[in-house]
Structure formats: C-alpha cells, structure tokens
Copies of this chain bind each other. A is one copy, B any other.
Amino acid sequence: MTRGRRRSESSRRAILDAARVLLLEHGYERLTIDAIAAQAGVGKQTIYRWWGSKGAVVADAALAGGLVPPLIPLPDTGDIETDLRAWLRAWTEHLASGVGRSLILALTAATAEDRAVADVLYERFTGPHEQLLRDRLDSACAAGQLGSEVPVPTIAGVLIGSLLYRVLSMQAPPTADDADMVVRLVLAGAA
C-alpha cells in the first residue's frame, strides 16, 4: 500500500517521554524543542513532522504520553457523598505532590497562552473529567440523592474550580480536609 519507510513508533514514544520528563523537570516555559529532541535522541524535524507546535507536543505528551495525569476514578457505591469525597481526596493528594502540581501548572500555562492547545486539552483532559463528574451526579440525581432543581453542570464546575483555584493561588496545597468541606458544602446545597 504505502511506499517508503514507516513512522518510527520508538521515536514517537521517546519524544513524548522526553517532553513529559522535561516538562515536569523545568516547567512549560523552560521547555525547549531542542532539549526534547536531544533527550529523545531524535532530529527536530521528526518532531515537527508529526506535531505542529511546541504546545501540541506538550498537550500530547501530557495525555497520550502516559498516565501522568492519572485517571482519577470516580466510584459508584450508591452514596454520592462517599464517591465525591473519594474523588476529590484523590485529586487533592495528586495535586499536593510535586509532580501533579507541576503538570497542572504547565497545562494551565499552555491553556492560557495558546487557544488551540486549550481546545485540545479541554477535549481530551478537562472535558472527560468534567463529564465523569456530571455522569455520576446525574445518576445520583436519578437515585433521588440530589434535588432536581440544582443544575449538575454548576456543581461539577464548582468542584473542579475549587481544586483549580487552590493550585493556582500557589498558597498552601489543598488537603483532604479541604476536599471534605467542599463536598459537604456543595452537597448540602444540592440536597
């Protein structure tokens, strides 16, 4: 079918791995394409042949590159408060670590700087997490654990936003107690 050499899978992985490592090591602004190419043992053209910009590489590295922003599970035990608490606690724990914090900061910088990158990240990262939350909230709604007059999107946005603010304010990282209080506040309002 297609003539010529095929795309090297090992180079692809090396590039994404290198980008991820260097991103966490030095942050988004200090990350350079040359450094990625050198670390990956790859020519720069090999990067630009498959990705359009530095932001695109970073976005892909953060997502396809591995589990670094781990898929925080949102269990369904039947009790919405227990489940939300577990989810938010797992997130706070992740964000309290240096790695999780660095990654979110890098992704936020990329989002705020580049609209195209922002769209990719929302589509493949933020969006899915928000959807996960909405689905669980919907099922809780159907189970009668939530008043039906409170819009699910608002609740999801408030939960995610409270996390985001704690990270971006760069003050003390969020704690498990904070997470519990946010859940209690939100669920009390939505009951």
Contact = CB atoms under 8 A, between A and B. Distances in A.
The A contact surface, by secondary structure, is helix
A72 interface: no
A131 interface: no
Interface of A: 27-29, 105-106, 108-109, 111-115, 118-119, 122, 126, 130, 150-151, 154-155, 157-158, 160-166, 168-171, 178, 181-182, 184-190
Nearest to A109: B112
Contacts of A185: 150, 154-155, 158, 186, 189-190
Copy number in this complex? Answer: 2
A29 to B, nearest CB: 4
9 contacts: A29-B114, A108-B108, A115-B170, A158-B186, A160-B161, A164-B168, A188-B188, A188-B189, A189-B190
A114 B111 CA distance: 15
B28 A112 contact: yes
